[in-house]
Amino acid sequence: MPPTVPRIAELKAAAAWRTVDFISDLHLHEAEPATFEAWRQHLLNTPADAVFLLGDIFEVWVGDDAVQPGSFEAACQQVLQQASQRRALFFMAGNRDFLLGPRFAQACGMTLLADPCVLVFEGQRWLLSHGDALCLDDHDYMRFRAEVRSPAWQQAFLARPLAERLALARQLRAQSEARKRSGEPYADLDPAATLAWLQAGNAATLIHGHTHRPARHLLGPGLSREVLSDWDLHAPQPRAEVLRLEAGGLRRVAPSLT
């Protein structure tokens, strides 16, 4: 049976765009201020005309009502508001921040994107995804994903008191840290499903995150996928990388810091 291909949205770049940045998997959290600060500086200083945030920008998102005065979420909103006054911002949900909704996006001046989505830029089509939906070998996660992406589950979860949701978020973070320490590898994208998505989107390159394995993978004649880096400025070997798209193609650059 051929892989199931979801409906693929399309976004045409503004005629004035010359440079586009892609980042993902920052896992922003108040306990890691160096990563937050690098992200803040990049959004405010990058020469890019548009920045695409392709999921897991936040370690966890429990609902747009988490933006309370003095909260970490409010600080993130302020950064995004400032950045959106200088360049176009787009957000695609990841497996950690899929509950980020239109209320927060509107407050930030940020456009929400469906996953997957094709970006048409300089006459070429680039397929964008967070990447988790293509990790078909991770059967437990795929079942979990189907459950939590359902409107009924999300409505029930968001109806819980904010304090309860934040407590659950702390538990999830502890589980995530334990998984990192265990060295358990992330599942990779399914090759057949990836090719099916590219064909359906009439694109030659898939740009995605999720796996934390930044690299370029050749998939066949003229076909490839570009994996975004995660960011962790607190790691023994700090990581932070931007995938930049210009008329000449893609290149990997360091964040724009002051």
pLDDT tens readout for residues 214-239 = 999 999 999 999 999 999 999 999 99
Which pLDDT tens digit goes with each residue over 100-129? 999 999 999 999 999 999 999 999 999 999
The whole-number pLDDT of residue 2 equals 55
One-letter amino acid at 222 equals: G
C-alpha dist (Å) from residue 10 to 53, 121, 200: 16, 11, 12
The CATH class of the 9-253 domain is alpha beta
Mean pLDDT of the chain: 94
Residue 89 has pLDDT above 90, yes or no: yes
Domain boundaries, the chain: 9-253
The C-alpha angle with vertex 60 and arms to 56 and 64, in degrees rounded to 5, equals: 105
* Longest alpha-carbon distance in the chain: 52
Instruction: Tokens for 54, please give them.
Output: 């392709």
The whole-number pLDDT of residue 135 equals 96
Question: Percent of the chain beyond pLDDT 90?
Answer: 90
Cβ atoms of residues 62 and 167 within 8 Å: no
pTM of the model: 0.95
The whole-number pLDDT of residue 182 equals 66
The whole-number pLDDT of residue 174 equals 79
Find the mean pLDDT for residues 238-258: 96
Query: Measured between alpha carbons, how far is 232 from 218 in angstroms, rounded to an integer?
Result: 27
